[in-house]
Amino acid sequence: MEGDTALHRSKAGDNVVTQPNETGAEVFNPWTHVSSLIERAGHLLGLDDGMIKRIITPERILEVAVPVRLDSGNIEMYTGWRIQHDTSRGPGKGGIRFHQSVNVDEISALSADMSIKCAVVNIPYGGAKGGVRVDPTQLSRGELERLTRRYAFSIAPVIGPETDIPAPDVNTDPQVMSWIMDTITMLRGYSAPGVVTGKPLAIGGTLGHAGATSLGVTICALALLRNLARTPEHERVIVQGYGKVGAPLVQLLSERGMKVVGVADVRGAIHVPGGIDPVALARHFAEAGTVVGFEGADVVALDDFFAIPSDIAIPAALGGVITERVATTLAASVVVEAANGPTTGEGAAVLHERGIPVVPDVLANAGGVVASYFEWAQDLQGYMWEKELFQQRLEKTMHEAFDAVWIRHGELGVNLRETALAVGVERIAEATRLRGLFP
């Protein structure tokens, strides 16, 4: 099957991160890329090949058919996945995405990212990820609910508070999590709020979850500036993406003295050299549905967005956007990855050659999974924390994670991406070694 092929491509010594598509053209393969990064981290740490293979190989790849009755009465077939990469440190944790580009290699790579991410921020989770190959914008609300519930039914045997806890991701939200929780509750005959995180408050969500990823990105950006002896005042920032992560980021960064000079969404990009008013931009977006047309802004071609004069670049949309070409023309001197896998291998190599520090996604955007951990803990305890306590613990966890990576960065003498991978792999290897091999 396709998943097996992807795994075979990541055998020891294989650092190729592209594969031919149906036309013969070479395209970026996220799974091969992530597995090669884990392999290099293992070698950096001196791990044996057997341990490296255990850490790379996903524990379970579940592919499911998702039949949905459309409003027209016709039946449409979709394909979904839930992949559990590693559970040596705790239950699997990772989002569910609904997108037309979803495939087994993408979900495998994202599940491995979650294993590393949870280990880097030192929370008791392993890594998992799920998705359905579908364009949700083409579905009615009723069709979306039926698709969600059928998918939840199909993956029900492998998810639960003690085994694997999904969360929102691309094109999924608290409502989708509510449908999944209700489906699992109906199947099992008892309330199971801990089966998903990112839920509404009324059914077991938590205060502070909204915007947690953006807050974590902000904390990492400030920590990097501090360690580079730079101050946030007047730092020019560009943010690619104006969704669940990018929109709060514009507000948070501005509040901390930075000047957001560029923002992009799927419909276009804008540049305001003097800085964007986050409140005015939010108001414009609510009315227009895009950042394009914001008063006083220059229109910028999406392909030229990262060339906007700036000091900090924050990709906060989909993966693979900082390619070799983009990295070559990037104007910023610092990158903080708010999206999952926004930089290709070739792009990362160019950034490294140019001496541009990058706070990698497995650290920078981990605020969301930390928040999910807190929500899960509250569901298991049946006790909701105050918002102030939630934010205090989130900031403490993110600061400790960044500091641990920064210290190890000095010890290992490699860039921040390789360091973060090494920290995560090291912690997974320790748990794997302590648990041993069954039987």
Q: Which of 209, 153, 145, 195 lies closest to 172 in space, CA to CA? A: 145
Dihedral (C-alpha) 135, 138, 143, 148: value to the nearest 10 degrees?
A: 20
Parallel/antiparallel/unpaired status of strands 164-168 and 26-28:
unpaired
Structure tokens that stand for 166 in this block: 């999904």
The active-site residue, picked from 129, 199, 244, 259, is: 129
What are the backbone angles phi and psi of residue 72, rounded to the nearest 5°?
-75, -15
Residues 6+ apart with CB under 8 A from 68: 75, 76, 77, 78, 143, 146, 147, 150
Pinpoint the alpha helices (H) of 156-198: 174-188
- Residue 319: other Cβ atoms inside 10 A: 23
What are the backbone angles phi and psi of residue 413, rounded to the nearest 5°?
70, 30
3 state SS of 164: strand
165 secondary structure, DSSP code: E
Parallel/antiparallel/unpaired status of strands 259-265 and 236-240:
parallel
- The whole-angstrom separation of Cα 54 and Cα 435 is 13
User: How many Å is the maximal CA-CA distance in the chain?
Assistant: 66
AA letter at 276: I
- The whole-angstrom separation of Cα 270 and Cα 263 is 6
Residues 6+ apart with CB under 8 A from 435: 88
Angle at the Cα of 78 from the Cα atoms of 73 and 82, rounded to 5 degrees: 140
Residues 6+ apart with CB under 8 A from 124: 89, 90, 118, 373
- The whole-angstrom separation of Cα 19 and Cα 160 is 35
Relative orientation angle of helices 387-412 and 104-120, to the nearest 10 degrees? 90
The yes-or-no answer on residue 259 being catalytic is: no
Contact by Cβ (8 Å): 372, 165: yes
Active site amino acids: 129
